[in-house]
Homo-oligomer: A and B are copies of this chain.
Amino acid sequence: EIAELTADLFPNRALDGIKLRITAGPTREAIDPVRYISNHSSGKMGFALAAAAADAGAQVTLISGPVNLATPERVSRIDVSSAQDMYDASLADLQDCDIFIACAAVADYRPSEAVTQKIKKSADTLTLTLVRNPDIVSSVANSPQRPFTVGFAAETQDVLHYARDKLQRKKLDMIIANDVANTDIGFNSDDNRVVALWNGGEHAFDTMSKAQLSRRLIALIAEHFRTERD
């Protein structure tokens, strides 16, 4: 308890010199010049993690979808819009990345073709064909220059079951699961409650502010990163 309190007050620089990349926020997939598909995500959790990682001494690159948040101090920010843009920024120069945290709410699907002129309302119904976007966190985890890779799982049911399946299927080192059916936490809230899962273990965090939770998560990630690397 006291150790946890002091950890909050005196960051231990557990990530000194470590290159860390975080994705945050939603993506936008263009239907036409005025319409798009997106996901609920304020970006607050990813931005809080970026701030906590920078406080722990990491060189942080924050790859952010469209959000209304100020860039944390000592964090490099790359703004992107579509999942493909986020994929490109995430996979670029991966040899320069020690830890990758995929916190963004990436659109799984995009319209099969974005039209360059606004679609006119003529029909009563409209059929939109969507195709899969590249899976960013899986691509990172399965790349030759594989960093320590942490994913997020926002689920509305069977949260831990889906999260552990995703951890193994995508070959992640850790996954942070939260139940987005609970409207008190997650998404646009300042608080969050999550469970961190890894091969052979898990840790359930209490509900707390995203800032505080981020410091705990960064400490946990740093610990597992060091163990895996040693």
Q: Which residues of A are in contact with B by a Cβ distance under 8 Å?
A: 31, 33-40, 68, 105, 107-109, 112, 116-118, 121, 123-132, 154-157, 180-181
Contacts and interface: CB of A to CB of B under 8 A. Distances in A.
A127 B128 contact: yes
Contact of A125 (B34, B107, B118, B131): B131
B125 A130 contact: yes
Nearest to A120: B162
B155 A118 contact: yes
B155 A126 contact: no
Contacts of A35: 37-40, 107
Contacts of A31: 37
A37 B37 contact: yes
B125 A127 contact: no
B127 A108 contact: no
A118 B36 contact: no
Contacts of A118: 154-157, 180
B124 A132 contact: yes
Contacts of A128: 127-130
30 contacts: A31-B37, A33-B40, A33-B156, A34-B40, A35-B37, A35-B38, A35-B39, A35-B40, A35-B107, A36-B37, A36-B39, A36-B40, A109-B121, A109-B126, A116-B156, A117-B157, A118-B154, A118-B157, A123-B132, A124-B132, A125-B129, A125-B130, A125-B131, A126-B129, A126-B130, A126-B131, A127-B127, A127-B129, A127-B130, A128-B130
A27 B31 CA distance: 15
Contacts of A34: 39-40, 105, 154, 156, 180
A65 B33 CA distance: 19
Nearest to A33: B156
